[in-house]
Each structure stands twice: as C-alpha cells, then as structure tokens.
Structure 1
C-alpha cells in the first residue's frame, strides 16, 4: 500500500515506540529518514544482539524489527553543519518523531517551538516517559512495573513478571500514530501543523481496560492469575492433551459452556449448580479446571481440535514461534529487506488491509 507515498517523515527517535511509528508510515509508502547519533554509534538497539548474532554486523535483529524501509543518517546533533542539514530536511517534512530525554529537545534546538517556525505545516510527534516533571529514564519494563502490569502478570505463587514483549512501547506507538493521523486530518482542512504529545505512562494507564474498571468500580485489586481471566471461566485455562500438546480454552458464555459439556460427553456438567452460570464457574473455577484436566487427557490435540471446531467453540493450540512461522498465514506477514548489507526479516507493522469497493 502506498497511502502515504507523498509523505515525508524525519525520525529523531530511538529504541522501539518512536521507530515503530516511523516503520508504520514507511510500510504505507512514506519516505522516512532516520537521524541517528553518530557520537554514540547510532540507535542503541543496534547493539542489542542475541548471543548468537554476528558481533561485526552493524545492526541487530531487534533494530531490524523496528526500522523497515528507512534511510538512516548518522549525524552529530551538536555539530552546527549537521544541525543545519537536519533543519533543511525538516523544512520539507510532514512529520517529525522525537523521544528525547526531558530538556534535550530544547537544548538541541529540535523542539516543536523551534521547528514549527521553519515549517508551519509540521506535525511534531513527541514521546515522553512520564510527566513533564518526572525525570526518570523510562524503559518499557519500568512502565510495566509502575502502571500495574507486572503486579498482575505471573502465576499466583510467582514473583511479579514483565511481559515478554515491550508491550508499553507498542501501545504508545499506537497512541502516537492515532494522534498523528488525527493531526494530518485536521491539517488537510486548515493547513496548520500541530504537536502531538504522548507518554508511556498515559498509554499504559489508558490500556488497563477491564482490569482498571474492576478496581475503579468494585475495589478489586487484580492479582496474579497466570493466563486466567478474572471475569470469565473457563477462559485462559490450559490443558495438556494425550499427545503432550497444550490447548487453551476461551469459553465466554453459558451457551458455549453447554456446548463444551456436550463435546466432553458430560451434559450434566453445565447443569451442576457450581457451573451453571459464568459467575458460578468463576467462583468454582479450581474444581472445574480439575475436572476438565482429566477429560482433555483422554484425546490428542488434533482430535480435540476437530471436535471444538465442529461445535464453533473458541480454543487455541499453544505454539512456540517456530510452529507459528511454519504456517502460511504467518509467513504472509513477514517482510525481508537488506539493511546495511545484513539480510533482515521482520513481521509487518501494518496488519490491516484497505479494500476497494470492487475487492
């Protein structure tokens, strides 16, 4: 898709959230120029390599994951000649992406107020960690800790755990993309540039959804429950099948549980007072899980898959990433690109399709 083929983006951001926004626009046809600090060897994620990665390569797999289709320029932001070059790029740009530490944008003369003077149509997207008055360095795991995610993640008897992805960074990228798209829409009518501010903290809080409401409305502090759902059962319960493969259920209604009971050849299960409503199943989920555990051991995962699919019951086969990317559906989302002589592979940032009326 070349929706943004006439758009020019200057990326003054590093690590993940800002670069993911740049990648989003790049995948949709925009020209994205990534300015990296030559004094520090560029974006720090260039050095975030797995133990098996080539130490001599200029990029890492992590860097490749968030920097598709960009032109990278290594420049010294404190050098006047390099600074003037960056300004000349900004004058012709539609969007600037920045995630400087507090105060650095002003010191480097790359803040919104400075750049809007030379380009009144500029949309300036700024990512912060916390508030204007909180100077802490904001990495994703810090925000997962500070906004409740780690406290909810893990098993009941495990310590608090971070999620295996930089989830807060990705949520923030989505917030910034939405804000920039709104600003571009406004600019199409009045011709004016705007500043879009988003913080990792606000993005994390805004994404707490039902867990936040469980506290705000009922005073219920979410606890670590593994993959279980606080409001639904059996939803998130995992079971081993007879072939030692794992399955997860997502039964979201009483009607679905009745169907599940039939599939299990235990029709009375959905009539039992402990399990006849979702509220009762949540209350007695441990007893229910114990019963289901024994039942799922009676058949292999492929056998259960057929039965559950035939009855339109939601379930998932628990796969590792090797199994995931052996499937054609996942392969279609892989992008390949040569980055500085390194053959890189990554998954698409843009997963939606835009279909014409005749499609």
Structure 2
C-alpha cells in the first residue's frame, strides 16, 4: 500500500510534463517534499532517460539515470498530440496546483496547453517552464542541452588547466541548477498564491541560471572587465586553495585566510614563508600563486594523504582527500548522514538512490514511491482520480492515447 505523504507540500498535486534531467529534478524535489506528482510519459517509449543505458540497474531493465530523478512520481502514459490526450490533461488540471514542463518554447501551445491558453481557465495554476534559453530573447526557439549551455554560459572557459582545453563539469550542472531554481520559483509562487489566489508562469532559462551561478567569477569579471583565466584546481581569489600532490596521491588544501596560513606555516616548518613579502597576505599570495605552489609542493609531498588529513584536521586547517565515487559512498560521514536511500520497485527489485539533501527537522523528505515503471499508474490515475471506467480506459489504450 502506498504510504501517505507527510512532507510540507502534502495536499498539492503536480502535473509533470518534463523529461530528461532539469524538469525531473524539479518535480522530484516537489515529490520528496510531499506533493503528489503525476508524470506524463509517451506511450511505449516514455521519458528519454529510460533509454539512457548502460548502465541499467542490476536485475531490472530500468536505466540508472531514470531511477535517479523520478522517485515519488506516478507514471501515466498519454499521447498529448491526440485530442483525447489533451482532454485528459484538462481533466487533470482541474485538480492540479502546479504544472511543470520543459518543452521547446511554443510547443505546448500547439496542443492548447500553453500558459496563455490556460491561465484564464485555471487562474490559480502555477505553470513552470524550463527551457534552454527562456521564453523570450533571440535564442528562445533553440533547444537547450547541458554541455552547450555550459559552453555558452561561461563555466567551461573557467574550468580546466591553463594550457589545456576548456572543460565541462563532470555532471550536468546546467540541468541540475535549472531544475533547482525552478523549484525555488514554484515555492515562491505558492506563497504568492496563498496571499492572492493567483497563479503565474515561472520562466526558467538554463542559460540565465548558468549566468547566475558564475558567482565570484562573474563578479570578478564585472569588477575588472577582464576575462578570468583557467586556473586548473586553484582558486581565483585565495591562495593556497588548491590540489597538491602527496606522497601517495593528492589532497585539497584550503587555507582561507591569513591567520590560517600563519598557523599552517608554523605547524609544518614553513616559517620562512612568513618572512617573505610575496606571501605576507592573501592578496600577495594570489599575485604570486606560482611561487606559493612551487614552495609548498615538496612540503606536501613529504606525507601521505591520510597523514596530511589527520595533521591538518588537528590544527583546524581545511583539507580533504580527492575521493572516487567508491570512496564517497563508503565514507562514514556520508553513511551517517543517510545520503542514499533503499527503495523497492513495484516489480520487487531493490534499488538504491541518492537521497534528498534538504534536512527539515519537522517534515523530512518523504520517500513513499519508488521510481515508476512506464505507465505503472495509468489505470490508477484514470479510474481513481478521473473516475473513468475500465472500458473507457481500454478504449483509450486501443486508440494509442494511453
């Protein structure tokens, strides 16, 4: 039996017209917080990520990618290009608080499901659109993909070794940030609706959000008009704050201020650096970062990574090993924090997913529904929520609507 929702968004219903990663990240977050999420998928094929394999989860035919962002959702297969499918969407909207979609700009309007077409009929509807470039501007019609957004948004120009190629981040951060910003917008819109009764459209462009998280590097450019160089693993504003080789591997050393640098030098035989004007302040160390690196590299190579971690932690100096994923998921702190959750698919297969990182003391994340099999909840939604008969559902299946 399905567990009743207990999160802060319980009682809210979300119509999920998203696929791949940005949109599903947003709707999974809403589901984890207690909202009922009805995921609309294409009959037979479903969300594109169902086919993003290998790897599939052992003992199943489900891709690991799909399982990662689709828990707490009910899967309803529906062809919205057919009039009957559009009619079902409208029936669902009579009961839904939020619609999230990541179609190309204008695509849903072809089916009568654009925001401007729906807002009069459903004035309280919160309608979140997540696209590559937003609903306006010269690039609005373009499709958006994570790697090209990373390139256009500037982060690739900042990532990589100084003499190497520009590098994208190793996970699809442009997609993930867009989904999370979408969720933030939805929560704000819910508060507005509480006060006024009115819904609104939330326009999330992946390029916009990528510009937003340029953070200190973006501000460095705005302050100077100079393009920041690629620095590899070094920090643009702090030194030493970087990767160093150790006797048996590598370590991240994070010396965040001058008192910490003094403590480091006095603890590990580097007092001479304190007398050198090139290293006297953080600003001087940043200006002379190559000299900092050259001076400290042999020092850092004198101990193993484990020895450095123990010694630096004892002196409250920021540091950490560079973990492989096998190290991450075996880490005692990661385990103690419950960063993974075990779920059981409806076919009985056990899967482990990455947990929601938002820790709410009174209403913690709610893991009540495992990622759904394709169309798993179609009959439940159509008969239980919309009141259709089994014969009506079968007729829809025969027409390829469901």
How far off its partner does 1:56 sit?
9.8
How far off its partner does 1:58 sit?
4.6
Paired position in structure 2 for 1:328: 332
Moved more, 55-64 or 327-336: 55-64
1:308 is paired with a residue whose SS is helix
1:110 is aligned to 2:110:
no
Matching residue within 13, 21, 32 for 2:37: 32
Paired residues of 1:61 and 1:344 also in contact (CA < 8 A): no
Relative distance call for 1:169 and 1:349 in structure 2 (3 A) is farther
Paired position in structure 1 for 2:354: 347
How far off its partner does 1:253 sit?
0.7
How far off its partner does 1:219 sit?
1.8
Paired position in structure 2 for 1:300: 304
Paired position in structure 1 for 2:387: none
Matching residue within 88, 94, 97 for 1:94: 97
What CA distance in whole angstroms lies between the structure 2 residues aligned with 1:170 and 1:81? 33
Q: Which structure 2 residues correspond to residues 254-273 of structure 1 after superposition, within 5 A?
A: 254-273=258-277
Paired position in structure 2 for 1:75: 78
Matching residue within 191, 201, 210 for 1:185: 191
What CA distance in whole angstroms lies between the structure 2 residues aligned with 1:74 and 1:282? 56
Moved more, 265-274 or 2-11: 265-274
User: What whole-Å deviation, never above 9, does each CA across 1:21-43 have from its counterpart, x for those lacking one?
Assistant: 1100111111111001226x111
1:232 is aligned to 2:235:
no
Paired position in structure 1 for 2:8: 3
How far off its partner does 1:138 sit?
0.5
Paired residues of 2:131 and 2:143 also in contact (CA < 8 A): no
1 or 2 for the larger relative contact order (CA 8 Å, sep ≥6)? 2
How far off its partner does 1:344 sit?
2.9
2:279 is paired with a residue whose SS is coil
User: What whole-Å deviation, never above 9, does each CA across 1:183-205 have from its counterpart, x for those lacking one?
Assistant: 10011111111111111011111
Normalised TM-score (structure 2): 0.83
How far off its partner does 1:250 sit?
1.1
List alignment gaps of at least 5 residues for structure 2: 1-5, 364-402
How far off its partner does 1:353 sit?
2.5
Paired position in structure 2 for 1:215: 221
Paired position in structure 2 for 1:59: 62
Normalised TM-score (structure 1): 0.93
What CA distance in whole angstroms lies between the structure 1 residues aligned with 2:189 and 2:352? 32
What CA distance in whole angstroms lies between the structure 1 residues aligned with 2:271 and 2:304? 21
Give the root-mean-square deviation of aligned CA atoms.
1.9
Paired residues of 2:251 and 2:305 also in contact (CA < 8 A): yes
What CA distance in whole angstroms lies between the structure 2 residues aligned with 1:65 and 1:91? 30
Paired residues of 1:16 and 1:170 also in contact (CA < 8 A): yes
How far off its partner does 1:302 sit?
2.3
User: What whole-Å deviation, never above 9, does each CA across 1:26-77 have from its counterpart, x for those lacking one?
Assistant: 11111111001226x1111111112x53799553111111111110111111
1:325 is paired with a residue whose SS is helix
Paired position in structure 2 for 1:45: 49
What CA distance in whole angstroms lies between the structure 2 residues aligned with 1:102 and 1:58? 33
Paired position in structure 2 for 1:154: 160
Paired residues of 1:49 and 1:61 also in contact (CA < 8 A): yes
Moved more, 126-135 or 98-107: 126-135
How far off its partner does 1:355 sit?
5.0
User: What whole-Å deviation, never above 9, does each CA across 1:229-248 have from its counterpart, x for those lacking one?
Assistant: 11110012x12222x13211
Paired position in structure 2 for 1:317: 321
Matching residue within 248, 252, 256 for 1:252: 256
What CA distance in whole angstroms lies between the structure 1 residues aligned with 2:346 and 2:133? 34
1:258 is paired with a residue whose SS is helix
User: What whole-Å deviation, never above 9, does each CA across 1:136-178 have from its counterpart, x for those lacking one?
Assistant: 2110111001111111111112111111111111111121111
